[in-house]
Amino acid sequence: MRLTWRPVHAPTWPVVLGAASLSPPPEKTKLGDQPAGFATLSPVPVRTVHLIDASPYLFRAYFAVPYGITGPDGWPVNAVHGFVGFLNRLVREEEPTHVGVAFDKSLTTSFRNEIYPEYKAQRELPPEELERQQEACRDVARAMGMAVYVDTRYEADDLIATLWRQLRRKKHRVVVVSPDKDLCQLVDEGTELFDFARETRYGPEEVVEKFGVRPDQLADYLGLAGDSVDNIPGVKGVGPRTAAALLRAFGTLDALYDRLDEVADLDLRGARTLGAKLEASRDLAMLSRELATVAVDAPAKARLRELAYRGAEPDDVAEVFGALGFGRLQDQVRYR
């Protein structure tokens, strides 16, 4: 996604507003860079913010925790039970100071479905037993003192990417807790992706080692190779290895299509016919890249005071966990 910025032009001094006049700022003193009469402001400390992609861990809990765990109303709460265990373990092992948890609201109402109705169309909708537990998972995350983000049109990946962009602009460090390869697009010198279940962390070098491309090339890579998990088509006949080789040679998807006549000269299997395949699927490649690119304009604000994690309020935990029939789990929560 490309954002357009409009330059703000500084006024010519003095600026006259009715009878009032705005004078230029005072001259800087010899003692420092601040104008005379201004107090020196301390820089905002760099924080490390953990942004959690909730859905993979919620689904994992649903299938891993025994189905027989039910709440007072008789409905299953196994996914919530497992999700609480995941959050407790994450807090215990990572000791985060700032936490945000992003949830997917729906499999069918993303803005990507408007662009490409077949997006994720092959996935079965969650069973009612799991659907009911998703809202409860959001409730327990809030009760545990964590900031929660969810939206109908934007997926959890987009909410995380939006928060990440705002945080990185202010030089804060980010740990993205997720097994989702799409979020490797965010990895940079101040961002790592943490696959918590596999206890694996990805920095820029690890992303290159895993996919053969840099994090900033990953959307182009998926534009070529596609993604069967999300039903993103890509270019027919181009797999992950070929996609990575093409991006190593040309850098970007746009550069590849600008220099399509050079593909036949590459030392690649089937290079002579590859150019024709790419040309035939040009529109699909561009569409696939658009679908794979995480959005950074979701309705989410990265406010440090809201992301600050200080532990749970006992009353909140008692209310939410009590309604779910969770007794001993309350003893495992970190409190303020």
Buried/exposed 270-299: b ≥16 CB within 10 Å, e otherwise:
ebeebbeebeebeebbebbbebbbbbbebe
In this predicted structure, the answer to whether residue 39 has a pLDDT above a threshold of 90 is: no
pLDDT score at 41: 53
Length of the chain: 336
Which band of pLDDT confidence, cut at 50, 70 and 90, is reported for residue 12?
Answer: very low
- Domains, in order of start, for the chain: 48-212+295-331 (3.40.50.1010), 215-292 (1.10.150.20)
283: its two tokens: 């529109």
Please state, in angstroms and rounded to a whole number, the distance separating the CA atoms of residues 64 and 208. 31
In this predicted structure, the answer to whether residue 274 has a pLDDT above a threshold of 60 is: yes
Which band of pLDDT confidence, cut at 50, 70 and 90, is reported for residue 67?
Answer: confident
Report the chain's mean pLDDT, rounded to a whole number: 89
Which band of pLDDT confidence, cut at 50, 70 and 90, is reported for residue 28?
Answer: very low
pLDDT digits over 200-223, tens only?
A: 999 999 999 999 999 999 999 999
pLDDT score at 125: 87
pLDDT digits over 315-336, tens only?
A: 999 999 999 999 999 999 999 9
Handedness of CA 260, 262, 264, 268 (dihedral sign): negative
pLDDT score at 42: 56
Taking residues 75-84, report their average pLDDT.
97
Taking residues 51-64, report their average pLDDT.
96
Please state, in angstroms and rounded to a whole number, the distance separating the CA atoms of residues 25 and 14. 10
pLDDT score at 19: 37
pLDDT score at 3: 40
In this predicted structure, the answer to whether residue 21 has a pLDDT above a threshold of 50 is: no
Cβ atoms of residues 102 and 301 within 8 Å: no
Q: What SS3 state is found at 176?
A: strand
Check residue 145 and give left, alpha or beta (phi > 0: left; psi -120 to 50: alpha): left
Which band of pLDDT confidence, cut at 50, 70 and 90, is reported for residue 106?
Answer: confident
Taking residues 14-34, report their average pLDDT.
40
Tell me which of 107 and 182 has the higher pLDDT: 182
- Closest CA relative to residue 153, chosen from 91, 110, 98, 214: 110
In this predicted structure, the answer to whether residue 17 has a pLDDT above a threshold of 80 is: no
Q: pTM for the whole thing?
A: 0.86
Taking residues 277-285, report their average pLDDT.
97
Which band of pLDDT confidence, cut at 50, 70 and 90, is reported for residue 144?
Answer: very high
Which amino acid is located at 154 in the chain? Answer: Y
